[in-house]
Chain A
Amino acid sequence: MHRESVSINAVISVVRDYLVLVMIAALVAITAVIEPKFMSGANLVNIMRQFGPLIMVSLGMTFVIIGGFIDLSVAGTINLVAVVTISLIQPLGQVPALLIGLTIGAVCGGLNSALILSSGALTQAEALFITFGMSTVYSAIALLYSGGSTMHFWDISASKSVFEAIGGGNVGFLSVSFVIFLVCLALLWVFQTKTSEGRAICLTGGNKTAARLAGVQVSRAIVVIYMICGLMAGVGAIVLFSRITTAAPVIGAGYETNAILSVVVGGTTLKGGKGSVLRTVMGVLLVILMSNCLDLLGVSSYLQYAVKGAILVFAIWLDNRKQA
């Protein structure tokens, strides 16, 4: 009887762990039956393209959440990186513009961590407010810099082939943005699971005090997670404006909530310590498939917000149940 209860528990925990996969499969099956257009080549390519920006931001967010913190500033970072990068293509050339854009992303993240560390705001709630404030600051800088106007690719006479490739190019049958995603995923997965810094991040998320007293460099881990998050928001910004060929200073709105939604739905706990970038891929897939399906089924976007919110709450509820 004792053994039986162990195996039943094991089954329950496996089902819980792979709930997202089950939900994805169910969603795909139902939509494919109701709306055959779902399985069309055009729609699948569309899904792959939508995948781009959100997955980049979510991968970065995964680190912050594993480290026990949260970052609401990614929307502001995306706004800032997008408008600055696109404006620099003409005067500096595309590669310098790209590098400067990525640097700005990392610097924004670094600034967040510096504020968190110097103010001693070492709880997730405090980090939430600090990064929320910084998001407004970054967005404001983006608005001031661009004068509030949207910049288009067709205004740029200099070569923008790199961005055009990121936005619409293919490598074999994969889009360039998908290849960028695969490379980022591989690097970040190795970083999280195989390096000592990745371990320090997990330990920090698991118990900051204990990690610090065991001589783990907690402050450095906090700087690293925010810089990764900022950098990945920068990558996301570039993928995003390359795809839509314009950059407005409000381009990143909503990405912070969608990224957090994806990470949590994927099964990384908001309590920190445990989680994985691979889980986040599942989470993003579910979130994107869901909006795609709901779009195809003609569900209004207002109702879609409600569905997303409900799923986030459900995911957090499930996570808390798991802990108890």
Chain B
Amino acid sequence: MDTVGSEVILTIKGVSKSFPGVRALDGVSVDVRRGTVHGIVGENGAGKSTLMKILSGVYQKDSGKVVFDGQTIEHTTPQESMHRGLAIIYQELNLVNTMSVGENIFLGRFKEMKGMRGTHAKAGELLESIGCKISTSKLVSELSVSEKQMVEIAKALSFKSKLIIMDEPSSSLTGEEMCELIKIIHQLKAQGISIIYISHKLDEIFDFCDIVTVMRDGHVIDTKPKVDFTRDDLITKMVGRTIENEYPERPRCAGDTLMEVQSINTHKLHDISFTLRKGEILGLVGLVGAGRTEIVRALYGADKVRGHRVLIKGKPVTIRNPKEAKDAGFGFIPEDRKLQGLVLPFSVESNISMASISNFSKFGFIRKSLEKGIGTRQVKALNVKTPSTRVPVRNLSGGNQQKCIVGRWMEISPSIFIMDEPTKGIDVGAKYEIYSLMKEIAERGGAIILISSELPEVLNMSNRVLTIFEGRITGEFDPESTSVDKIMKAALGIVGGCA
């Protein structure tokens, strides 16, 4: 903790910000010290992202004071912040896919770098300084998510950044990639660079943050050195109430075989066959890109896949598109909430009613009163925090948006519910609510196929897990009686076999 006493690089004092109908930040004050990793945790909607956007100049604050590196900052733009030495790396990375790594790092500054040769040489040095071996002439579209993150970090360094904000950097990283990131964070820290690290994952916060700030409902609840927090303490402060467990007890009601899938084959998937029982949660474990999402998309008819057989309750069914899948009793929560799940400018109500239009239409005409009922019912049942069902779903926080998607399907009670990363980027409290819902669905006799990059989530919720490696099923395990190591090895393709 030798760094804690060091000089303050960023002071935020009494910053407030309102949006129509929401007070996003209310008198927030935080100090960030040089060369520290400062974790900011809080539920979605706590105001973390708003605060970061004010720092980087995407939003302007209503009141309060921001002092960065001795300079009081009033109105700023993202470009100005960059040049001042304050870089932000967003969850959805901001790189130009069709340009090379080097070009991305020095985008718009080729002249200063004395042409392309200088650009690539300098970019190479920067990447090397963080121990990264990506070729600077590689196209960004060919990089993995973690490599893209490295490029973002190199870009931040190219501006001689003194403070780098990382907004949920780990949400799409595998364990190994995470280790790389942690290494780099330590290096940056050693160079005297401060890092604001936003995350939902408490493990990471406890792993390498020095100081932790907890935010809730637009307020700073507490800022303390990490060592002064206990895990339970942190969770309680985040959600404002005590949460006993992170996971509910897993449902135990697996019954007869509900669905049989026989040999899905594509250029990426090889002979995928499995069964799904009634009342069961089946977890798919594997690295990002192993083919987990492709399997469920093929099942759901989202991708054109031919030649496989699907039997539901012993009867063969043909699913050529999502509509047919829905009619066959499927529900689907897609991987990317904003791009694939929601119609962002539309109201909460119409986002919830999307899948059940036929339930509230008669002879092709919509009955508004019934639709309104559906919206209100699901908002209430799932405890969605929204001022009304008519506000655009864009205004809601991530967890509440996800609940809208869940509610959409609850309305038609699917018997097979596919959930691809259902808790990605949402906070502890909302996660627990979604887990409870999963349990409820299973107990009502529905079956769930769960994909998640968070291993503890899959292992704690599933009755059975399948490990996927390079498009093949490499093992089937009972997560209760199998060691995590064994499952991880199968998911990494090291050994196969059944428990």
| Residue interface mask A213-242, B partner, CB < 8 A = 1 | 111110100000000000000000000000
Q: Which of B180-188, B249-257, B351-359 contacts A (4 or more CB under 8 A)?
A: B351-359
Hey, which chain A residues are within 8 Å of B20, CB to CB?
A: 5-6, 9
A273 touches B18 (CB 8 A): no
* Segment among A19-27, A170-178, A197-205 that sits at the interface with chain B: A197-205
CA distance A214 to B405 in the complex (A): 9
Among A2, A210, A211, A212, residue most surrounded by chain B Cβ atoms (within 10 Å): A210
Q: Are A195 and B342 in contact (CB under 8 A)?
A: no
Q: A199-B357, A273-B345 are in contact. Are A210 and B340 (CB under 8 A)?
A: yes
Q: Is A207 in contact with B323, judged by CB distance below 8 angstroms?
A: no
- Asked if residues B342 and A210 are in contact (CB atoms below 8 Å), the reply is yes
Chain B, residues 356-374, CB within 8 Å of chain A (1/0): the string is 0110010011100000000
Report the nearest A residue to B344, measured CB to CB: A207
Residues A5 and B354 in contact in the complex (CB < 8 Å), given A195-B366, A215-B326, A273-B345: no
Tell me, yes or no, whether B231 is within 8 Å of chain A by CB: no
Closest to B340 in A: A209
- Given the interface contacts A194-B365, A213-B332, does A206 sit within 8 Å of B345 by beta carbon? yes
Cβ of B326 and Cβ of A211 under 8 Å apart?
Answer: no
20 A/B residue pairs, CB under 8 Å, sorted by A: A2-B23, A5-B20, A194-B366, A195-B361, A196-B357, A196-B364, A199-B357, A203-B343, A206-B343, A206-B345, A209-B340, A210-B342, A210-B343, A212-B322, A214-B326, A215-B323, A215-B326, A215-B355, A216-B357, A217-B323
Complex: A210 Cα to B346 Cα, angstroms: 12
Whether A308 is near chain B, meaning CB under 8 Å from some CB there, is: no
Residue B341 lies at the interface, judged by CB distance under 8 Å to chain A: yes
- Chain A contacts of B334 at CB under 8 A? 210, 213
Evaluate whether A213 and B357 lie within 8 angstroms (CB atoms) in the complex, with A5-B18, A194-B366, A196-B365 already known: no
Could you list which residues of chain A lie within 8 angstroms of chain B, going by C-beta atoms? Answer: 2, 5-6, 9, 194-200, 202-203, 206-207, 209-217, 219, 273-274
Contact of A273 among B21, B321, B343, B364 (CB under 8 A): B343
A contact residues around B341 at 8 Å (CB) = 210, 213
List, in ascending order, chain B residues with CB within 8 A of A196's CB: 357-358, 361, 364-366
Is B325 part of the binding interface, using a Cβ–Cβ cutoff of 8 Å? Answer: yes
Residues from 88 to 106 in B contacting A, C-beta threshold 8 Å = none
Interface string of B440-479 (1 = CB under 8 A from A): 0000000000000000000000000000000000000000
Bound CA–CA A214/B340 (angstroms): 9
Is B1 an interface residue when CB atoms closer than 8 A count as contact? no
User: CB of B200 within 8 A of chain A?
Assistant: no
A202 proximity list for chain B (CB < 8 A):
346
B346 A206 Cβ-Cβ under 8 A: yes
Is B395 in the interface zone, CB < 8 Å from A?
A: no
Give chain B nearest CB distance to A238 CB in angstroms. Answer: 27
| A200 and B342 form a contact (CB under 8 A) | no
Complex Cα gap A219–B344 (Å): 21
Chain B residues closer than 8 Å to A9, beta-carbon distance: 20
Docked complex Cα distance between A127 and B218 (Å): 44
| Distance (whole angstroms) from the CB of A74 to the closest CB of chain B | 26
User: Of all chain B residues, which has the CB nearest A323?
Assistant: B345
Q: How many residues of B contact A (CB 8 A)?
A: 32
How far apart are B344's CB and chain A's nearest CB, in angstroms? 7
Q: Do A203 and B354 touch across chains, with their CB atoms under 8 A apart? A: yes
B residues in contact with A209, CB < 8 Å: 339-340
Given the known inter-chain contacts A6-B21, A203-B343, please indicate yes or no for A216 contacting B354, CB distance below 8 A.
Answer: yes
> Is the CB of B302 closer than 8 A to any CB of chain A?
yes
Q: How far is the CA of A255 from the CA of B368 in the complex (A)?
A: 36
Give Cα A213–Cα B339 distance, bound, in whole angstroms.
Answer: 11
- In the complex formed, the residue of A with least CB distance to B325 is A215
Q: A217 contacts which chain B residues (CB < 8 A)?
A: 323
Residue of A nearest to B16 (CB): A2
Interface residues of B in 27-83 (CB under 8 A from A): none
A residues in contact with B364, CB < 8 Å: 195-197
Contact A214–B18 (Cβ < 8 Å): no
Which residues of chain B are near A273, meaning CB under 8 Å? 343, 345-346
Cα A207 to Cα B365 in complex, Å, equals 22
Complex: chain A residue closest to B302, CB-CB: A213
5 A-B pairs with least C-beta separation? A215-B326, A206-B343, A196-B361, A214-B354, A207-B343
Chain A's nearest CB lies how many Å from the CB of B24? 11
> Which A-chain residue is minimally distant from B339 (CB atoms)?
A209
A273 and B20 alpha carbons, distance in the complex (Å)? 22
Q: Which residue of B lies closest to A208 (CB)?
A: B343
B408 interfacial by beta-carbon distance below 8 Å: yes
Cβ of B321: which chain A residues have Cβ within 8 Å of it?
A: 212, 219
B350 on the interface (CB 8 Å rule)?
yes
Most chain A CB inside 10 Å of its own CB: which residue of B300, B354, B366: B354
Complex formed: what's the CA distance from A199 to B408 in Å? 15
Interchain CA distance A242-B333 in the complex, whole Å: 53
Structural contact, B18 and A2, CB atoms closer than 8 A: yes
Cα of A50 to Cα of B252 in the assembled complex, Å: 71
With a cutoff of 8 Å between Cβ atoms, the chain A residues found around residue B332 in the complex are: 213-214
Report Cα–Cα, A211/B344, bound state, in Å.
11
Which residues of chain A have C-beta atoms less than 8 A from B346's C-beta?
202-203, 206, 273
Q: Which residues of B contact A6 (CB under 8 A)?
A: 20-21
Shortest Cβ distance from B367 into A: residue: A194
A212 contacts across to B, CB distance below 8 A: 302, 321-322
Residues of A contacting B339 in the complex (Cβ-Cβ under 8 angstroms): 207, 209-210
Evaluate whether A214 and B365 lie within 8 angstroms (CB atoms) in the complex, with A207-B343, A207-B344 already known: no
Q: Which residues of chain B are within 8 angstroms of A207 by Cβ–Cβ distance?
A: 339, 342-344
CB distance from A259 to the nearest CB of B (A): 24
Q: Which single member of B358, B366, B408 contacts A214 (CB below 8 Å)?
A: B408
Chain B residues whose C-beta falls within 8 Å of the C-beta of A211 in the assembled complex: 343, 354
**A211-B340 Cα distance, complex, nearest whole Å:** 8
- Cβ contacts under 8 Å, B325 to chain A: 215
Cα distance, A213 to B326, chains bound together (Å): 9
Complex Cα gap A216–B300 (Å): 13
List of A residues within 8 angstroms of B408 by Cβ: 214
A274 to B302 CA separation, bound complex (whole angstroms): 25
Nearest-CB residue, chain B, relative to A197: B364
Query: How far does the Cβ of B317 sit from chain A's closest Cβ, in whole Å?
Result: 15
In the complex the two chains form, what is the Cα distance from A215 to B327 in whole Å?
Answer: 8
| Least Cβ–Cβ distance between A20 and chain B, in angstroms | 20
Contacts of B355 in A (CB 8 A): 214-216
CA A210 to CA B478, docked complex, whole Å: 34
What residue in chain A is nearest B22 (Cβ atoms)? A2
Which chain B residues lie closer than 8 Å to A216 at the CB level? 323, 354-355, 357
